[in-house]
């Protein structure tokens, strides 16, 4: 018998709207699942059962009164610890913020509430969201539910792990360098990085973000089905005047030809055979669904975009970040700062200005590229998901990780929507592909993703592997 926590968000929302199950029953099932499996993976680091049930009761009362309810009515959703949620600490995995209680919610959390979602809990992230691995000194380490030897990804590793293990139907994460797309890849679920400006963002608990973070960081959903990502995006993207970068654009654009480009090795990037095989299989699935897929030798500049991302991220406020990391004492964050110092030292005095100018040139090149193709099929990472804490294995380990994440680092510069679609398991190691489209055409990413998904994906949700099981 299928349990409520096993259902997709779309299925559960329909049952609740039709009064076939109550939101309270769904919330109770979600809490029971959390209690059963979260101790094994440490994905959710704070939750309040009475608050969860109170939200569910409000949804049930609204339905009983015959009121119209939102698209996520009664659906349990988790939120990352670097996003303001009223009355909860926005810890960002840092000891200095462990008790920094938000007095108001981020616009995207308010949008979830407006959509009548049930906020289930807060999910783990590395300190200052700095790594593609998830641990910190406040909340500890999160484990990959499919394989404890693997990273769950980062920085939204807690959310991806939660969704994979059936803790909530959707998880909300953030992405400035792959922090939605990579955890989804590592855990074997789907994750959508929306276009810059699509989902309103603002944390009143923080000072104004640096310009790089303002232009490149976005929030988006991770889930077990493409239909659930579509539902989550619709809820998250409601307007809010607190974000001056927000752009009100329709979620569905004009009809576009089913024409895709496949690029295996942008800028000569080296990828693992298993990654190439997954991409070619995804292309075959798209062709089977009626797409034309053209293999191309290269894309518009990828490494140049990654260099701009570095300059925008590191060129403004690096020393303040380095001081905060030193005060926190987290080994993983310190490794990122140590490895980045040489990159910062090479930046010229006018690096930020030059990066902003180059960003415009790159955006133009990519927009022209998407005049030819509706979507682009790319690797998520050059490798299968990393062994956990690979970035702590000296400079060689860190550089291996850095190089493997080229597309994770480059695409935020351009502000394009990008979707990770999980496609298969290599043994017990997930693999997937990345679909990119032009600005504000998440619908094209999701259309292609649904066609790939329809032809097979790894099972989810799953029971997490037991403590002590570490295979790679």
User: What whole-number distance in Å separates Cα of residue 231 and Cα of residue 337?
Assistant: 37
Mode of pairing for the β-strands spanning 135-136 and 140-141: antiparallel
Quote helix, strand, coil % in the chain, to nearest 5.
45, 15, 40
Could you identify the residue written with the tokens 């999160």? 142
At 400 the three-state DSSP class reads: helix
Q: Is 86 a catalytic residue?
A: no
Q: Which helix (H) or strand (E) holds 334?
A: helix 331-346
Task: Write the burial class of residue 356 (CB in 10 Å: 0-12 exposed, 13-18 middle, 19+ buried).
Answer: middle
User: What whole-number distance in Å separates Cα of residue 114 and Cα of residue 116?
Assistant: 5
pLDDT at site 472? 47
pLDDT at site 1? 80
Q: What DSSP assignment string belongs to 254-274?
A: S----EEEE-SSGGG----HH
Q: Is 340 a catalytic residue?
A: no
Catalytic residue among 10, 22, 24, 80: 80
Q: What DSSP assignment string belongs to 84-100?
A: --TTSB--TT-GGGTT-
205 contact partners, CB below 8 Å, separation of at least 6: 84, 90, 100, 102, 103
Q: Is residue 58 a contact partner of residue 98, using CB atoms and an 8 Å limit?
A: no
Return the domain boundaries, the chain. 4-453
In eight-state DSSP terms, residue 128 is: G
pLDDT at site 357? 98
Of 136, 196, 178, nearest to 381 by C-alpha is 178
Q: Could you give the angle at which helices 406-414 and 303-314 cross, rounded to 10 degrees?
A: 70
pLDDT at site 225? 98
Q: Is the pTM of this model over 0.85?
A: yes
Torsion of the alpha carbons at 374, 377, 381 and 383, rounded to the nearest 10: 180
pLDDT at site 469? 52
pLDDT at site 55? 98
pLDDT at site 348? 93
Catalytic residue among 106, 125, 155, 374: 155
Mean pLDDT of the chain: 97
Of 302, 275, 281, nearest to 293 by C-alpha is 281
Question: In this structure, which topology does domain 4-453 adopt according to CATH?
Answer: Amidase signature (AS) enzymes (3.90.1300)
Q: Is 179 a catalytic residue?
A: yes
Burial 259-286 (b: 16+ CB within 10 A, else e): ebbbbbbbbebebbeebeebbbbbbebb
User: What whole-number distance in Å separates Cα of residue 317 and Cα of residue 260?
Assistant: 39
User: What whole-number distance in Å separates Cα of residue 242 and Cα of residue 201?
Assistant: 8
Regions of the chain where pLDDT drops below 70: 467-472
């Amino acid at each position: 018998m299928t349990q409520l926590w096993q259902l997709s968000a779309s299925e559960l929302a329909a049952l609740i709207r039709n009064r076939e199950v109550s939101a309270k029953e769904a919330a109770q099932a979600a809490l029971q699942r959390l209690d059963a499996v979260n101790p094994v993976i440490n994905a959710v680091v704070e939750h309040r059962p009475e608050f969860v049930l109170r939200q569910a009761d409000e949804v049930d009362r609204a339905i009983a009164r015959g009121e119209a309810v939102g698209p996520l009515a009664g659906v349990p959703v988790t939120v990352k610890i670097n996003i303001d949620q009223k009355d909860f600490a926005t810890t960002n995995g840092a000891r200095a913020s462990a008790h920094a209680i938000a007095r108001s919610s981020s616009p995207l959390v308010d949008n979830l509430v407006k959509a009548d979602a049930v906020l289930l809990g807060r999910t783990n992230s590395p300190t200052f969201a700095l790594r593609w691995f998830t641990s910190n000194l406040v909340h500890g380490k999160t484990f990959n539910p499919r394989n404890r030897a693997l990273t769950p990804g980062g920085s939204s590793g807690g959310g991806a792990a939660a969704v994979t293990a059936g803790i909530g139907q959707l998880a909300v994460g953030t992405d400035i360098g792959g922090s939605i797309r990579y955890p989804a890849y590592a855990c074997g679920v789907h994750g959508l990085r929306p276009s810059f400006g699509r989902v309103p963002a603002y944390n009143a608990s923080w000072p104004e973000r640096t310009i790089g973070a303002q232009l490149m960081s976005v929030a988006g959903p991770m889930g077990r089905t493409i239909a659930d990502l579509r539902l989550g995006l619709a809820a998250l993207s409601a307007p809010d005047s607190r974000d001056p970068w927000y752009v009100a654009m329709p979620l569905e654009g004009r009809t576009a030809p089913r024409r895709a480009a496949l690029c295996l090795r942008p800028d000569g990037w080296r990828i693992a055979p298993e990654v190439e095989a997954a991409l070619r299989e995804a292309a075959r699935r798209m062709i089977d669904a009626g797409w034309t897929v053209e293999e191309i030798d290269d894309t518009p500049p990828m490494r140049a975009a990654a260099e701009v991302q570095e300059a925008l991220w590191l060129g403004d406020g690096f020393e303040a970040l380095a001081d905060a990391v030193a005060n926190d004492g987290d080994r993983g964050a310190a490794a990122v700062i140590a490895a980045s110092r040489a990159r910062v030292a090479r930046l010229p005095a006018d690096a930020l200005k030059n990066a902003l100018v180059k960003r415009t040139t790159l955006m133009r090149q990519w927009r022209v590229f998407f005049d030819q193709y509706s979507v682009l099929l790319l690797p998520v990472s050059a490798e299968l998901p990393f062994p956990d804490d690979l970035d702590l294995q000296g400079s060689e380990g860190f550089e291996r990780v850095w190089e493997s994440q080229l597309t994770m680092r480059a695409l935020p510069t351009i502000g394009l929507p990008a979707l990770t679609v999980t496609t298969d398991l290599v043994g017990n190691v997930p693999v997937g592909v990345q679909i990119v489209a032009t600005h504000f055409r998440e619908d094209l990413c999701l259309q292609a993703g649904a066609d790939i998904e329809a032809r097979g994906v790894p099972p989810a949700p799953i029971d997490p592997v037991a403590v002590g099981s570490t295979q790679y």
